[in-house]
Chains A and B, each alone.
Chain A
Amino acid sequence: MNGPALPSRPAAFPANWPVRIAYAGLLVYTLYVCSILDVSLARLISGLDHAAKLFGRMFPPNSAPDKLSLIADGMIESIQIAVLSTFLGTLLSLPLGLAAARNLVPLWLASAARMVIAVCRSFHPIIISILFVKAVGFGALAGMLALVISSMGFVSKLFAEILEEISLKQIEAIRATGASFTNVLIFAVVPQVIGRFIGLSVYQFDSNLRNSTMVGIVGGGGIGAALFTAYQRFDYDVVLTILLIIIALIILCEVASSRIRLVTQ
């Protein structure tokens, strides 16, 4: 029984041509970049061969006592760098973040502070480390100062955003009592933001610990120096030991910091 043809129903999921074209564009871009960057299957395959050799030389990880004591020294220095740079970086972020909060300070000051923050944030910690190694010489101080700068960039930006979200009611209430600007800060602003600021600092410690394992590659102290030396001497088994220790420490720290952030919020 054939009735009159039903009007064709629209497809349940109509084709979305703009999206398809965008995906095709990404594919074309990928192929183009692979060709100009000399990324090819042949190189990947020959790389697998090297990778097998590399892993062969990495296993088993070197656990000779003298190497381990060297690694322990480096790790301790990395932790020190992370602790100090987080402390100084978050401490300096307090005034910088406050100066960048547009609801609390005049606009000219906020714009100037935002410029400073942008400069701190734009450079990778490694580039800042290179400059500090030139300014204050090799060693932990250079790495620490570099991480202070990058901590300031990250923490003050987010701290300024937190400050801009605070409720103005408490501020009005405290101001109505005739409190000075300092007292307004202490009694109206700080209680609203302290929890999130501590959370931010703990997160930054995590991030600084990761970066403190790296600044040693350019002379900024910490485990990176030992790692880079081992790498240049082709002691890949020592490299693996260091990598495993770094991963273990960072997992530990990440678990601890997520717990701490739960407590403080």
Chain B
Amino acid sequence: MSRPAPARQWQRLTPVQRIVRSMLAIIGVTALVWSFKTIEIIPEFLYDAPEQAADLFVRMWPFDWAFYPKAVHAALIETFHIATLGTLLALVLAMPLAFLSARNITRSPVLNWLAQVLFVSSRSVNSLIWALLFVAIFGPGALAGVMSIAFRSIGFIGKLFGEALEEAQKGPVDALVATGAPHAVVLAKGIWPQVEPSFWSVALLRWDINIRESAVLGLVGAGGIGVALDNALSNLYWDQVGLIMAVIFVVVIIVEMITTGIRARLI
């Protein structure tokens, strides 16, 4: 009579996985406790925060509607153009870099890596910080805004488009190579049609983000509705601030509805 085999115990995680997870949890909790204990918060400011916030909204309402035709409309159009032109420039700059970063197209680890470094640097520097640099270079105005939107977007578009390129099927490429097509034709007719929907989808996604971002560039002098916002803020015209915020809200919602509609049809 054989003894029954000992019941095997089922475990979801290996011991190593469990240790890694506990370590991550401990690190997270430690960071949290340390931040809570050491962050500098001036409690005196907190006592009247509710009154201050209420005061803010009282001063915002009713909006200064007369301000819209005077200064907001033109600035809004400018913001729209800054975001769009910046996105287009970013597309032009990011496309060759994305081809460089895709390992199945550019077979040179050094170039792949170089493109990746450029993407990460572009994404690490915030749009407002890019704007500071470009205002120093081109002076205040829309040009600095366009450049900062473009440079901030290169990393985002390049990374996502590069990933789409790496997922492209090899079949059409091989077929074209077999016909003796030159390299440029292989890219244009073998790879591009496969990635075109994701390219435009990424472009629209970034355009949507850029509309939001370009609304604040004016705070450091890079043109658009942010300039009007900055003026209203420094003059403490809260009814104008409220109007500008409402306008930004409406535009952002409309743009988001448009882009999600188009993207749903693209993919």
Contacts and interface: CB of A to CB of B under 8 A. Distances in A.
Interface of A: 13, 26, 29-30, 33-34, 36-39, 43-44, 47, 50-51, 54, 76-77, 79-81, 83-84, 87, 118-119, 122-124, 126-127, 130-131, 134-137, 139-141, 144, 210-211, 213-214, 217-218, 221, 224, 227-228, 231, 236, 243, 246-247, 250-251, 254, 260, 263-264
Interface stretch (B81-89, B96-104, B106-114, B165-173): B81-89
17 contacts: A30-B88, A37-B82, A37-B143, A37-B223, A50-B138, A118-B253, A122-B253, A123-B212, A123-B248, A123-B249, A124-B215, A127-B216, A127-B229, A131-B56, A140-B39, A210-B123, A247-B124
Contact of B32 (A29, A83, A126): A83
A250 B120 CA distance: 9
B53 interface: yes
B266 interface: no
Given A84-B35, A124-B212, A247-B125, A33 B45 contact: no
A37 B248 contact: no
B136 A50 contact: yes
Contacts of A144: 39
A224 B219 CA distance: 14
B219 A136 contact: no
Interface residues of B, number: 59
A38 B219 CA distance: 20
Given A43-B138, A84-B32, A136-B46, 20 more contacts: A29-B84, A36-B81, A37-B78, A37-B143, A37-B223, A39-B142, A83-B31, A84-B36, A123-B245, A130-B233, A135-B49, A140-B41, A144-B39, A213-B129, A217-B128, A218-B219, A236-B136, A243-B129, A247-B124, A260-B24
B160 to A, nearest CB: 14
A36 to B, nearest CB: 7
Contact of B85 (A39, A139, A247): A39
Contacts of B124: 210, 246-247, 250-251
B56 A135 contact: yes
Contact of A214 (B24, B53, B128): B128
Interface in B25-68: 31-32, 34-36, 38-42, 45-46, 49, 52-53, 56
Interface of A is mostly: helix
Interface in B205-224: 212-213, 215-216, 219-220, 223
B129 A80 contact: no
Contacts of A247: 120-121, 124-125
B11 interface: no
A38 B141 contact: yes
Q: Which interface residue of B120, B137, B141 has the most chain A CB atoms within 10 A? A: B137
B235 interface: no
A80 B88 contact: no
B45 A141 contact: yes
B71 interface: no
B126 A243 contact: no
Nearest to B56: A134
A87 B216 CA distance: 26
Given A37-B143, A218-B219, A247-B125, A139 B52 contact: no
Contacts of B56: 131, 134-135
Nearest to A46: B138
B189 interface: yes
B85 A246 contact: no
Contacts of B220: 217
A137 B20 CA distance: 40
A146 to B, nearest CB: 12
Nearest to B120: A251
B252 interface: yes
A76 B35 CA distance: 9
A34 B88 contact: no
B183 interface: no
A139 B126 contact: no
A122 B212 contact: yes
B137 A51 contact: yes
A145 B52 CA distance: 15
B132 interface: yes
Contacts of A34: 85
A217 B15 CA distance: 46
